[in-house]
């Protein structure tokens, strides 16, 4: 067999394979523009990508270089991380940075992007729209020219009562016992002991004796007099007024709820939203959402503006939003736990538990969640964080938040990049620790979804060990099969997001042909979104081309196991595209001119009336691949539990004990049944069926065959003998072959000795006279006196 390099395989396939030429992966699209994606990128100049491009030049010429350059929308940071740390070492928690004066230059933004910033947040409370436009432009430029994938989020000001921002960075200190005037009237200059509020009705409903807390307790006052709308207050706890410091009023230890009086979306917010839409931002974070209405309102607006790819995040930062948490989460595309303002409205000590609960609710409802504010607050001033801050970051990672956010640390602090690298290190470390701890099992005790896609995603990611007898069969897939990466092909990101929700160990590479989906997936835990052109109708082409591309970039090694999940809906009836799951092992291409992958597939999982069937097939059309598929199917009344372990489960256990896979056992014996014919049958059946999850009679037949076979194998009948004998012979043969060079060497060595020393070197027994050894009579050795010296006397 010819020995061929992977590059030449690619070059040849680019030149000759009709499917891959038609498939031609797209160049990277950044905010509507088609641009080239840099292979290799600028990251630390390792330049592996360039070596491959060179190989492509030698083999395929300039056209191929262009294709190789444009072929994969994987961002340079993920690519570098993958090269350095491998699949399982990739960071899963996403990082959001607030952009402010300290980091708004192109160079600083590039450093943040290199440092792992996934999303740049622009707080519309601060600075002008022109300033924000300029930052967005720079981020687009970095994405386009340098191959980054940084999404943009704008954060609305929302309505909240706070100290009017005069633009002065300095803060004012209130001393205990001093008396202050709080007014909404315009103040000239900065008169002492007077503070201007941003909202005229700030004192409505407030009574003498109420407590006024600044920034949730930074300073406290008691209302001693009310004059019109103005309040005269005495400082009871000294502290600082920072720019835009928030007001909250308390009576008898309870918050005087004020936020509901203010509209969530002010005129300014609508103008900012319009600005964001025209700039093509990826996320709009809504401040002070008290119920689901403003979220729905904004989503409708985006729909009308044909801006459906802009995702709406709701910021949970008020008491009201906690009371209506589920409806808000349901209506929005994601949540931000805005701990800064939340801490103003609820007692500090409740923040950790509230954060954990919001994170769990978001996972249950499959919405990404960002934990924000004061993560590394001391780094706004100092170059190192406090230990407590690092512990807080780690706890958010342990709670499996999708993303962590820097605020002032990056916006105004001098150590923004360092703060980002601390987030990165702390999150990677905690992810590893959590995995070691096997917290997944605890995590998965909480059921996440009920719909079929929910449960499929759950089964893919988990080994669902539970005391529940129906779930007692372990479904060894992504985590427990030791899968290195999950590849998912998705249009709107739904399946990628469902997989992410289960927090599997391997990273999820989400291939999508929709740029909006790609940028939105940037916020989801463990998802690495890639922009490629996908075929709706030829899933095989999607799979083989993307695997080949990643393998050829040197990012898939022999032995890597990839789980491939497809969730694309076929567009026409003769299509071979369908929902499928495949597990592929990348084999060493050195001994073959074709890339070989082999699949293994776990057993069957039984939940309610839905099952995942597995089937095995081998397609001659793609000789280089053997694979198993798990077909999604709905089957009624086939899973009555009578207390016995189902044969499929026994079968899988037996295979596992023998270190075998279902494919290796079944494929030869059943080859004739599962070859191309079956392939055609499946395609036809799926194509003609209007129900995506219909069960074919072929599958049922094969399932019952499988049951019989597993029973036979389990009882050590003749059935298992042939493959076992084959296996033993193969093992014996391999063993012999392995020692063959040693045997040859030994023969050569002794032949050389013989030639050198001649015949005298050989010891011929017949030519040498050998005398017999002297005879010793054993009875003489048993003389009385010798025995008596050692043996005890008998009498
Ligand atoms: N675009 C900007 N221009 C100037 N300063 C900014 C900008 N963005 C943020 N800042 C500064 O960084 C600090 C932290 O920003 P951040 O937006 O996280 O907090 P915030 O102002 O308290 O708003 P929010 O309550 O919405 O989080 C702000 O107090 C502000 O001083
Ligand atoms: C981020 C934000 O708005 C807060 O923490 O209040």
Cα–Cα separations (whole angstroms), residue 775 to 701, 772, 779: 80, 8, 12
Give me the percent of the chain exceeding a pLDDT of 70: 62
Q: Determine the distance from the C-alpha atom of residue 104 to the mean position of all C-alpha atoms in its chain, rounded to a whole number.
A: 29
Burial category of 660 from C-beta neighbours within 10 Å (exposed 0-12, middle 13-18, buried 19 and up): middle
Inside any domain, residue 206: yes
Residues 6+ apart with CB under 8 A from 314: 285, 286, 289, 295, 321, 328, 329, 331, 332, 334, 335, 336
Instruction: Give rounded-to-5 percent helix, strand, coil for the chain.
Output: 45, 20, 40
pLDDT at 4: 30
Which atom of ligand 1 lies at the shortest distance from residue 315's CA? 26
- Given the structure tokens 């539990």, which residue do they identify? 641
What distance in angstroms lies between residue 685's CA and the mean position of ligand 2's atoms? 53
Regarding the beta carbon of 424 and ligand 2, being less than 6 Å apart is answered no
For the chain, the domain total comes to 5
Of 123, 155, 338, the residue with max ligand 2 atoms within 8 A of its CB, to mutate for a pocket test, comes to 338
Regarding the beta carbon of 337 and ligand 2, being less than 6 Å apart is answered no
In a shared domain, residues 114 and 218 = no
Q: Which residue has the higher pLDDT, 46 or 263?
A: 263
Last residue of a domain, one of 719, 744, 776: 719
CATH of the domain at 639: 3.40.1380.20
Domain housing 79: 6-87
At 53-76, the pLDDT tens digits run 333 333 333 344 344 444 567 899
What distance in angstroms lies between residue 182's CA and the mean position of ligand 1's atoms? 23
Which atom of ligand 1 lies at the shortest distance from residue 135's CA? 1
In a shared domain, residues 537 and 414 = no
What distance in angstroms lies between residue 341's CA and the mean position of ligand 2's atoms? 5
CATH of the domain at 202: 2.40.33.10
In a shared domain, residues 253 and 274 = no
pLDDT at 414: 95
- What is d(CA 581, CA 567) in angstroms, rounded to the nearest whole number? 9
pLDDT at residue 661 tops 60: no
In a shared domain, residues 536 and 594 = yes
CATH of the domain at 289: 3.20.20.60
With bands split at pLDDT 50, 70 and 90, how would you rate the model's confidence at 509?
A: very high
Beta strands in 175-259 (DSSP E): 179-183, 194-196, 211-214, 219-227, 230-237, 239-241, 247-251, 254-255
pLDDT at 729: 82
CA-proximal residue: ligand 2, atom 1 (nearest): 338
Which atom of ligand 1 lies at the shortest distance from residue 160's CA? 25
Give me the percent of the chain exceeding a pLDDT of 90: 37
pLDDT at residue 724 tops 80: no
pLDDT at 287: 95
pLDDT at residue 385 tops 90: yes
Of 105, 108, 126, the residue with max ligand 1 atoms within 8 A of its CB, to mutate for a pocket test, comes to 126
What distance in angstroms lies between residue 287's CA and the mean position of ligand 2's atoms? 8
Transcribe 371-387 into DSSP letters: EES-TTGGGGTSSS--H
Of 336, 369, 396, 406, the residue with max ligand 2 atoms within 8 A of its CB, to mutate for a pocket test, comes to 336
The helix or strand, by DSSP H or E, that contains position 120, with its residue range, turns out to be strand 119-123
Which atom of ligand 2 lies at the shortest distance from residue 155's CA? 3
Q: Which residue has the higher pLDDT, 190 or 711?
A: 190
Which atom of ligand 2 lies at the shortest distance from residue 405's CA? 1
Q: Which residue has the higher pLDDT, 19 or 375?
A: 375
Inside any domain, residue 770: no
With bands split at pLDDT 50, 70 and 90, how would you rate the model's confidence at 593?
A: very low
pLDDT at 211: 94
- What is d(CA 405, CA 155) in angstroms, rounded to the nearest whole number? 13
Which atom of ligand 2 lies at the shortest distance from residue 317's CA? 6
Is ipTM strictly over 0.85?
Answer: yes
Of 315, 322, 396, 405, the residue with max ligand 2 atoms within 8 A of its CB, to mutate for a pocket test, comes to 315
Inside any domain, residue 774: no
Inside any domain, residue 102: yes
Q: Which residue has the higher pLDDT, 471 or 753?
A: 753
Inside any domain, residue 795: no
At 605-656, the pLDDT tens digits run 222 222 232 222 323 233 233 333 433 332 233 333 333 344 444 445 555 5
Mean pLDDT within 457-474: 47
Regarding the beta carbon of 317 and ligand 2, being less than 6 Å apart is answered yes
- What is d(CA 375, CA 352) in angstroms, rounded to the nearest whole number? 12
Regarding the beta carbon of 338 and ligand 2, being less than 6 Å apart is answered yes
With bands split at pLDDT 50, 70 and 90, how would you rate the model's confidence at 444?
A: low
What distance in angstroms lies between residue 317's CA and the mean position of ligand 1's atoms? 16
Q: Which residue has the higher pLDDT, 625 or 565?
A: 565
Residues 6+ apart with CB under 8 A from 87: 484, 485, 506, 507, 560
- Cβ neighbour number for residue 559 with a 10 Å cutoff: 10
3-class DSSP state of 73? strand
Which atom of ligand 1 lies at the shortest distance from residue 338's CA? 27
CA-proximal residue: ligand 2, atom 3 (nearest): 338
Which atom of ligand 1 lies at the shortest distance from residue 405's CA? 18
- What is d(CA 643, CA 654) in angstroms, rounded to the nearest whole number? 19
What distance in angstroms lies between residue 278's CA and the mean position of ligand 1's atoms? 23
Regarding the beta carbon of 650 and ligand 2, being less than 6 Å apart is answered no
Residues whose beta carbon lies within 6 Å of some atom of ligand 1: 98, 100-101, 123, 125-127, 155, 244, 287, 340-341, 407-408, 411-412
CA-proximal residue: ligand 2, atom 2 (nearest): 338
The answer to whether 628 touches 662, Cβ cutoff 8 Å, is yes
Q: Which residue has the higher pLDDT, 578 or 113?
A: 113
Residues 6+ apart with CB under 8 A from 616: 601, 628, 662, 663, 666, 667, 670, 674, 702
Highest mean pLDDT among 77-91, 443-457, 556-570: 77-91
The answer to whether 499 touches 461, Cβ cutoff 8 Å, is yes
Least distant ligand from the CA of 246: 1
Which atom of ligand 1 lies at the shortest distance from residue 131's CA? 1
Inside any domain, residue 748: yes
In a shared domain, residues 224 and 293 = no
In a shared domain, residues 24 and 101 = no
pLDDT at 2: 31
Last residue of a domain, one of 656, 691, 719: 719
In a shared domain, residues 363 and 458 = no
- What is d(CA 645, CA 640) in angstroms, rounded to the nearest whole number? 11
pLDDT at residue 149 tops 90: yes
Q: Determine the distance from the C-alpha atom of residue 579 to the mean position of all C-alpha atoms in its chain, rounded to a whole number.
A: 20
pLDDT at 554: 79
Inside any domain, residue 291: yes
Average pLDDT of the chain to the nearest whole number: 72
- What is d(CA 250, CA 736) in angstroms, rounded to the nearest whole number? 84
Least confident of 347-351, 571-575, 636-640, 727-731: 636-640
What distance in angstroms lies between residue 102's CA and the mean position of ligand 1's atoms? 11
Name the nearest CA neighbour of 627 among 558, 581, 576, 682: 581
Highest mean pLDDT among 84-88, 713-717, 764-768: 84-88
CA-proximal residue: ligand 1, atom 6 (nearest): 100
What distance in angstroms lies between residue 372's CA and the mean position of ligand 2's atoms? 6
Which atom of ligand 1 lies at the shortest distance from residue 104's CA? 1
What distance in angstroms lies between residue 133's CA and the mean position of ligand 2's atoms? 22
Inside any domain, residue 166: no
Last residue of a domain, one of 87, 104, 127: 87
Of 108, 125, 159, 264, the residue with max ligand 1 atoms within 8 A of its CB, to mutate for a pocket test, comes to 125
In a shared domain, residues 394 and 281 = yes
CA-proximal residue: ligand 1, atom 7 (nearest): 100
In a shared domain, residues 142 and 58 = no
In a shared domain, residues 417 and 464 = no
In a shared domain, residues 137 and 48 = no
In a shared domain, residues 519 and 646 = yes
Mean pLDDT within 301-319: 91
pLDDT at 721: 66
């Amino acid at each position: 067999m010819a020995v061929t390099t992977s590059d030449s395989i690619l070059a040849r396939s680019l030149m000759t394979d009709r499917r891959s030429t038609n498939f031609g992966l797209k160049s990277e699209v950044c905010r509507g523009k088609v641009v080239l994606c840099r292979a290799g990128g600028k990251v630390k100049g390792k330049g592996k990508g360039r070596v491959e491009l060179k190989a492509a030049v030698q083999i395929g010429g300039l056209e191929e270089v262009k294709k190789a350059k444009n072929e994969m929308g994987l961002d340079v940071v993920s690519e570098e991380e993958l090269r350095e740390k491998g699949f399982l070492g990739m960071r899963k928690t996403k990082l959001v940075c607030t952009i402010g004066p300290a980091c708004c230059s192109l160079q600083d933004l590039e450093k943040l992007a290199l440092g792992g910033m996934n999303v740049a947040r622009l707080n519309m409370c601060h600075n002008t729209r022109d300033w924000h436009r300029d930052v967005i432009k720079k981020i687009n430029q970095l994405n386009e020219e340098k191959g980054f994938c940084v999404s943009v989020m704008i954060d609305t000001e929302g309505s909240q009562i706070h100290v009017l921002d005069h633009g002065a960075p300095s803060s004012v200190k209130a001393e205990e016992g001093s008396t202050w005037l709080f007014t909404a009237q315009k103040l000239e200059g900065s008169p002492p002991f007077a503070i201007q509020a941003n909202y005229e009705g700030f004192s409505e409903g407030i009574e003498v004796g109420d407590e006024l807390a600044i920034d949730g307790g930074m300073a406290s006052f008691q209302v001693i007099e009310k004059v019109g709308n103005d309040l005269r207050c005495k400082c009871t706890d000294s502290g600082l007024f920072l720019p835009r410091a928030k007001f909250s009023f308390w009576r008898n230890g309870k918050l005087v709820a004020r936020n509901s009086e203010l509209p969530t979306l002010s005129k300014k917010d609508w103008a900012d939203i319009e600005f964001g839409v025209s700039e093509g931002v990826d996320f709009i974070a809504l401040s002070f959402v008290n119920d689901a209405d403003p979220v729905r309102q904004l989503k409708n607006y985006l729909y009308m503006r044909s801006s459906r790819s802009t995702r709406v995040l709701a910021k949970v930062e008020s008491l009201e939003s906690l009371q209506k948490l589920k409806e808000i989460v349901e209506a929005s595309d994601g949540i931000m736990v805005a701990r800064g303002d939340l801490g103003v409205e609820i007692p500090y000590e409740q923040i950790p538990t509230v954060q954990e609960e919001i994170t769990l609710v978001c996972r249950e409802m499959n919405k990404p969640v960002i934990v924000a504010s004061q993560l590394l607050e001391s780094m706004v001033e100092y170059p190192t964080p406090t230990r407590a801050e690092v512990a807080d970051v780690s706890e958010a990672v342990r709670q499996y938040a999708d993303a962590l956010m820097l605020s002032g640390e990056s916006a105004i602090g001098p150590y923004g990049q360092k703060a980002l690298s601390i987030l990165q290190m702390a999150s990677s470390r905690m992810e590893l620790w959590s995995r070691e701890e096997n917290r997944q099992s605890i995590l998965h005790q909480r059921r996440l979804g009920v719909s079929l896609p929910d449960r499929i995603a759950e089964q893919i990611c988990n080994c669902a060990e539970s005391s529940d007898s129906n779930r007692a069969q372990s479904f060894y897939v992504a985590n427990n099969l030791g899968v290195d990466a999950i590849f998912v092909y998705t249009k709107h990101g739904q399946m990628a997001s469902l997989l992410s929700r289960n927090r599997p160990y391997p990273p999820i590479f989400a291939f999508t042909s929709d740029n909006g989906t790609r940028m939105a997936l940037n916020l989801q835990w463990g998802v690495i979104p890639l922009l490629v052109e996908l075929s709706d109708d030829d899933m095989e082409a999607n799979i083989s081309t993307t695997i080949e591309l990643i393998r050829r970039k040197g990012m898939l090694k022999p032995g890597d196991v990839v789980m491939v999940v497809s969730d694309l809906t076929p567009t026409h009836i003769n299509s071979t595209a369908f929902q499928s799951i495949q597990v592929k092992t990348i084999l060493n291409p050195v001994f073959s001119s074709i890339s070989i992958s082999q699949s293994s597939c776990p057993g069957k999982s039984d939940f309610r009336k839905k099952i995942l069937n597995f089937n095995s097939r081998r397609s001659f059309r793609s000789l280089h691949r053997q694979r198993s598929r798990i077909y999604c199917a709905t089957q009624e009344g086939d899973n009555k539990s009578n207390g016995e372990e189902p044969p499929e489960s026994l079968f899988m256990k037996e295979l596992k004990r023998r270190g075998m896979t279902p494919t290796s056992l079944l494929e030869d014996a059943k080859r004739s049944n599962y070859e191309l014919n079956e392939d055609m049958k499946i395609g036809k059946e799926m194509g003609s069926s209007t129900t995506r999850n219909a069960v074919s009679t072929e599958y049922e037949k094969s399932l019952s065959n499988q049951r019989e076979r597993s029973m036979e194998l389990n009882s050590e009948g003749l059935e298992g003998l042939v493959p076992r004998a084959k296996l033993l012979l193969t093992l014996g043969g391999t063993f012999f072959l392995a020692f063959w060079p040693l045997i040859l060497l030994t023969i050569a060595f002794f032949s050389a000795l013989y030639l050198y020393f001649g015949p005298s070197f050989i010891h011929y027994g017949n030519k040498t006279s050998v005398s017999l050894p002297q005879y010793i009579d054993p009875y003489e050795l048993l003389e009385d006196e010798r025995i008596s010296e050692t043996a005890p006397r008998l009498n």
